[in-house]
Copies of this chain bind each other. A is one copy, B any other.
Amino acid sequence: MTQDELIEKLDFKKGNGLIPVIVQDTNTKAILMQAYANKEAVELTLKTKKATYWSRSRNEIWVKGETSGHTQKIVSVATDCDFDSLLYVVEQIGPACHTGENSCFFNKML
């Protein structure tokens, strides 16, 4: 499928217009964070190569690092078998987490 066809296949309905995005560091393969994208955010990400999300707290398009400088340069984008999840592989500048940690997943449960 072409990129345009895949965009049309994305299933935004299940999540009320949003699809979860997994963000992986291209170098360390670590999971950096998990966010959400609407269709506009996916299209901007593909076009600008800057990881772009929908901020659920601010209710707006969110270009990661626009204020902090901790941007994410897109290396690859993929969607899953049923088109309701996205994976951004990125080159991360600075820490991904607003707490200053490299990854948001620092709370170990097991």
Contacts from A to B (Cβ < 8 Å): 1, 3, 6-7, 14, 20, 22, 24, 29-31, 33-34, 46, 56, 74, 76-83, 85, 87, 97-99, 101, 104-110
Would you give 8 A-B contacts (Cβ < 8 Å), ordered by A? Answer: A6-B107, A31-B31, A74-B110, A78-B107, A80-B106, A81-B107, A83-B107, A87-B105
When the two chains form their complex, are residues A56 and B20 in contact, meaning their CB atoms are under 8 A apart? no
Cβ of A53 to closest chain B Cβ, rounded Å: 13
When the two chains form their complex, are residues A108 and B29 in contact, meaning their CB atoms are under 8 A apart? no
Identical chains bound together, number = 2
When the two chains form their complex, are residues A81 and B109 in contact, meaning their CB atoms are under 8 A apart? no
Known: A81-B98, A81-B101. A109 touches B24 (CB 8 A): no
